[in-house]
C-alpha cells in the first residue's frame, strides 16, 4: 500500500510502498532531501538532524546555508554556490530565484505530462509539492510518484509563470538527489554505432562526472541512464541507485561532488544551447525521470526498471503479448530486389515456421541506393508492379503477416518532397545544408511537416495492410534552424523537435492499435524510455554478430527487459564484424531479445531448415518466460571470455538459461554455472541432463557446462519444476 505522510510539526514528507522509503523535509520553506532507500517504519527526529537549527525562525539566506544542505530543487544564485537543476533569466537580466513551499497535494494515480510520454499511473500515488518565488511569480510543481508493484520513484517538474513579465528558462532538469557522501562507483553506458551501450564504470571524484549528448537524440554514443554502486555492490548483493530518463532527445546526466564530499545527482534536458521563453500564464514541463534504490545489487535495480516498463511504460496490443517471429529482407537483398525475389524469401521463411515477413528499405520512390527518395512514400512500381497492396496480399495469402520499414523524419535532397518544399528541412538560413547518409532531417516543429508525415505514412500502412512497422532514423541533428521559429525561440528547437515527434508517434500508433511498432535509429541510437511509450520494442544495434550482441544486450538489460530488445539471427560471415559463429549460438543470443532472422532463408540447407523449425518451436514454447520472466545476468562478457543470463517465470516453475563461450579451449576441467532466482525447495527437470536437480543445488553448486570445441559455442538449458 502506498503511504504519503505529511508531518506539519516536522515539515516532513514520507513516501513509502512497503519496500522503499523517500523522505524530504522543509527548512525555511526550502525542501531538503533526507533519505531514499530501504523502507522505514516511521520518520523520527534523528532522521531530520541535518536540519538542526534551521527552523522557520532561524533559517536565513544571509550565511548561504543552502550551499551546505541537500536540496530537492536547488537553484544557483540565491545562496547555493553549486550548479542547480533550474536556471532562469528574468526580464531585467538577473537570475536570482528563491523557491519556497507554497502548498502540497496528494493524488491517486499519476497525472499525465502534457505533450510528453510518461509512465501510466495505475496503482500509484503522487505527491505534488508546489514552490513559489514571490518576487517573480514563478512557481514549480515537483511531482513524486510511487507504485505498489515496482520500486521505482517517478520525478518530474512543471514551471508555471504566474508573474507579469516573461521569464527565460535556461536550464530545467527533471530531478536532483543530494547524497551525504560520494563513496560509490558511477556506471554509465557509452558507445558508438554497432557497439552501443558499453558498460563503463569509474569511481566518483571531486567535480563533475556523468554523461550526456547534444546530438538531438538520446544517441548511440551514450544512454539516458546512470547508476551509483556503493561499496560491496555486485550483481545480486549490496546497494545501488539507478536513474533513467523518459526522453528521446539531447540530455544531461551528471554527478557533482562538492568540497564537503557530498554528491549531487541530476538528470534532464540538455542545458547546452537550450532556452525556453515562458510568457505570463504559460507553463513548461520537464521529462519524467525514474529513480530506484536496490538492496539486491544491480540485478535488483534492473528488475525494478523491467517491472516499470512491463507494467507502466509499454502499451498497446503487444505490450505483454507474444511477438511474431520475423524475417527481414535487408541483409538478404539490400536494395536489389523485386516482388518475385521477395515472395520467394517469404515462402521459404513460411515453410520454416516464420510468422512475419518485413520489407526493409528500397520499396518507395526510385530508391536503388541510400542517396534518394526519402520523403516520397509512394510505391516503386518498377520493383513492385502491383504496389505494396499486391505484395502484402501475396504475403498474407502465405499465412504470414506483413511488415514495412519507414524513415519518416528524413528527406533526401533528391526527392519530390524536397523539390516541392526545400524549407521543410532543418536548415540554418542560407548556410550550406550538411547532409548525413545523403539525407536531411525534416523540421518536426512545423505543423505542416507533421501532418505530411502522418498522412503519407498512414496511407502507406493502409495501402500495404501492414501488421508491423520498423520506424527508423539514421542521422542526428546539426546546423539547427527552422523557417517558422522566431530568432528568440530558436534555442527551443531541439526540445520542440522531440515534442513534435512525440505528437506524430501518438497519432500514428493510436491510428493503428493492432500494429506492432519497432523503433530504430541507425541501430540503437534512440533506445530510450520515451520511445518505448509508443513502441514496445527497439532495434538494439545494427551489429548482429553473436558475441558483440552478448555485450550489447547484456548492458542494455541494465534498464530494458528482453521484450524491448530487437534481436535477430543473421548470416555468417557476419556483415558487420566478419566473424563466423554457429547457427545455434546466433539463435541462443537472439532469444535474449525479440527473436527474428536477418538473412536469406533460400541459402539454408535442409538440415539448417529443420534446425530453424525446431528453434522457432522452442521460441514459441518459451517466449513468455524469455520475454517477460524475471531476468538475471549471470556472467559478464566485459573483460571475460564468457557471457550468461537467465529468465525465470513469476511462479519460479520455469527458467531459460543461456551461456556463451567466446573462445574454445582444450584440456580444462568442465566449469559450473551457478543459477539464481529459482525455488530452493523445488526440483527441476533440465533438458540435456539425465537427472532431476534441486533448485538449491543449481544455485549453490551450479549446472555443468560443456567445453566448446570451437569459438563462440553456446549452451541453453530449459528448466521445469517437477510437481
Q: How far apart are CA 259 and CA 80, in angstroms?
A: 13
Spatial distance between the Cα atoms of 74 and 72, rounded to a whole number of angstroms: 6
Instruction: Based on the residue annotation, tell me whether 472 is a catalytic residue of this protein.
Output: yes
Q: Smallest Cα–Cα separation from 52: which of 37, 34, 74, 36?
A: 34
Residue pair 70/110 in contact by the 8 Å Cβ criterion: no
Question: Which three-class secondary structure state does DSSP give residue 9?
Answer: coil
Please state, in angstroms and as integers, the Cα–Cα distance from residue 123 to each residue in 5, 113, 149, 184, 368, following that order. Answer: 17, 17, 7, 32, 51
3-class DSSP string for 376-438: CCCECCCCCCCHHHHHHHHHHHCCCEEEEEECCCEECCCCHHHHHCHHHECCCCCCCCCCECC
Cα–Cα separations (whole angstroms), residue 15 to 20, 23, 144, 492: 8, 6, 9, 35
Distance CA 90, CA 651 (A): 57
Question: Rg for the chain (alpha carbons), in Å?
Answer: 27
In degrees and rounded to multiples of 5, residue 609 shows phi and psi of -60, -40
Calpha distance 580→596 (Å, rounded): 18
**Per annotation, catalytic residue among 133, 542, 543, 630:** 542
Distance CA 555, CA 557 (A): 5
User: Whole-angstrom Cα distance, residue 223 to residue 51?
Assistant: 36
Q: How far apart are CA 493 and CA 421, in angstroms?
A: 19
CA separation for the pair 26, 8 (Å, rounded): 10
Residues tagged active-site? 472, 542
Amino acid at each position: 500500500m502506498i503511504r504519503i505522510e505529511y508531518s506539519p510539526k516536522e515539515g516532513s514528507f514520507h513516501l513509502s510502498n512497503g519496500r522503499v522509503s523517500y523522505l524530504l523535509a522543509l527548512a525555511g520553506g526550502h525542501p531538503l532531501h533526507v533519505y531514499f532507500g530501504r523502507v522505514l517504519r516511521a520518520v523520527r527526529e534523528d532522521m531530520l538532524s541535518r536540519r538542526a537549527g534551521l527552523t522557520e525562525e532561524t533559517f536565513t539566506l544571509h550565511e548561504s546555508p543552502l550551499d551546505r544542505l541537500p536540496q530537492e530543487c536547488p537553484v544557483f544564485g540565491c545562496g547555493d554556490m553549486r550548479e542547480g537543476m533550474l536556471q532562469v533569466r528574468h526580464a531585467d537580466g538577473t537570475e536570482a530565484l528563491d523557491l519556497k513551499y507554497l502548498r502540497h497535494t496528494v493524488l491517486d494515480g499519476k497525472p499525465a505530462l502534457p505533450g510528453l510520454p510518461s509512465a501510466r499511473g495505475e496503482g500509484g500515488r503522487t505527491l505534488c509539492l508546489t514552490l513559489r518565488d514571490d518576487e517573480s511569480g514563478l512557481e514549480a510543481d515537483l511531482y513524486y510518484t510511487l507504485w505498489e508493484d515496482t520500486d521505482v520513484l517517478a520525478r518530474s517538474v512543471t514551471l508555471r509563470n504566474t508573474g507579469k513579465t516573461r521569464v527565460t528558462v535556461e536550464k530545467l532538469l527533471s530531478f536532483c538527489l543530494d547524497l551525504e557522501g560520494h563513496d560509490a562507483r558511477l556506471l554509465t553506458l557509452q558507445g558508438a554505432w554497432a557497439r552501443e551501450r558499453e558498460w563503463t564504470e569509474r569511481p566518483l571524484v571531486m567535480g563533475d562526472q556523468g554523461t550526456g549528448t547534444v546530438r538531438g537524440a538520446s544517441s548511440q554514443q551514450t544512454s539516458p541512464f546512470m547508476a551509483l554502486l556503493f561499496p560491496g555492490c555486485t550483481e545480486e548483493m549490496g546497494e545501488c541507485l539507478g536513474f533513467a530518463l523518459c526522453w528521446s532527445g539531447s540530455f544531461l546526466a551528471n554527478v557533482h561532488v562538492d568540497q564537503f564530499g557530498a554528491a549531487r545527482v541530476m538528470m534532464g534536458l540538455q542545458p547546452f544551447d537550450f532556452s525556453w521563453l515562458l510568457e505570463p500564464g504559460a507553463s513548461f514541463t520537464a521529462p519524467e525521470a525514474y529513480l530506484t534504490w536496490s538492496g539486491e545489487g544491480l540485478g535488483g535495480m534492473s528488475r525494478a526498471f523491467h517491472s516499470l516498463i512491463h507494467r507502466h511504460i509499454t502499451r498497446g496490443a503487444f505490450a505483454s503479448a507474444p511477438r511474431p517471429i520475423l524475417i527481414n529482407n535487408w541483409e538478404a537483398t539490400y536494395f536489389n530486389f523485386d516482388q518475385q525475389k521477395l515472395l520467394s524469401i517469404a515462402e521459404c521463411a513460411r515453410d520454416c515456421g516464420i510468422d512475419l515477413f518485413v520489407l526493409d528499405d528500397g520499396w518507395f520512390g526510385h530508391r536503388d541506393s541510400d542517396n534518394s527518395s526519402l520523403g516520397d512514400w509512394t510505391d516503386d512500381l518498377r520493383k513492385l508492379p502491383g504496389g505494396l497492396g499486391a505484395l502484402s496480399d501475396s504475403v498474407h495469402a502465405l499465412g504470414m503477416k506483413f511488415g514495412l520499414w519507414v524513415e519518416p523524419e528524413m528527406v533526401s535532397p533528391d526527392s519530390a518532397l524536397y523539390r516541392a518544399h526545400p524549407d521543410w528541412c532543418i536548415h540554418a538560413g542560407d548556410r550550406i545544408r550538411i547532409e548525413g547518409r545523403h539525407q536531411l532531417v525534416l523540421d518536426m516543429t512545423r505543423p505542416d511537416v507533421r501532418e505530411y508525415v502522418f498522412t503519407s505514412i498512414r496511407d502507406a500502412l493502409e495501402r500495404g495492410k501492414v501488421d508491423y512497422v520498423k520506424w527508423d532514423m539514421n542521422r542526428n541533428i546539426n546546423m539547427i534552424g527552422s523557417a517558422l521559429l522566431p530568432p528568440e525561440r530558436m534555442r527551443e528547437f531541439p526540445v520542440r523537435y522531440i515534442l513534435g515527434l512525440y505528437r506524430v508517434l501518438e497519432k500514428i500508433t493510436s491510428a493503428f492499435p493492432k500494429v506492432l511498432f519497432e523503433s530504430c535509429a541507425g541501430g540503437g541510437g534512440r533506445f530510450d524510455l520515451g520511445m518505448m511509450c509508443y513502441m514496445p520494442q527497439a532495434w538494439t544495434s545494427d551489429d548482429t554478430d553473436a558475441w558483440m550482441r552478448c555485450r550489447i544486450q547484456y548492458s542494455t538489460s541494465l534498464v530494458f527487459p528482453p521484450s524491448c530488445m530487437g534481436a535477430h539471427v543473421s548470416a555468417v560471415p557476419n556483415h558487420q564484424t566478419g566473424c563466423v559463429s554457429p547457427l545455434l549460438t546466433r539463435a541462443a543470443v537472439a532469444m535474449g531479445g525479440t527473436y527474428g532472422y536477418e538473412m536469406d532463408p533460400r541459402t539454408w540447407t535442409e538440415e539448417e531448415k529443420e534446425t530453424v523449425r525446431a528453434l522457432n518451436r522452442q521460441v514459441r514454447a518459451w517466449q513468455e518466460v524469455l520475454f517477460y520472466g524475471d531476468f538475471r545476468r549471470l556472467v559478464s562478457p566485459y573483460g571475460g571470455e564468457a557471457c550468461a543470463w537467465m529468465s525465470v517465470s513469476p511462479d519460479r516453475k520455469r527458467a531459460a538459461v543461456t551461456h556463451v563461450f567466446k573462445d574454445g579451449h582444450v584440456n580444462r576441467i568442465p566449469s559450473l554455472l551457478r543459477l539464481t532466482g529459482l525455488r530452493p525447495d523445488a526440483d527441476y527437470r533440465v533438458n540435456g541432463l539425465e537427472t532431476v536437480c534441486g533448485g538449491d543445488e543449481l544455485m549453490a553448486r551450479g549446472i555443468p557446462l560443456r567445453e566448446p570445441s570451437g569459438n563462440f559455442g553456446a549452451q541453453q538449458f530449459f528448466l521445469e519444476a517437477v510437481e
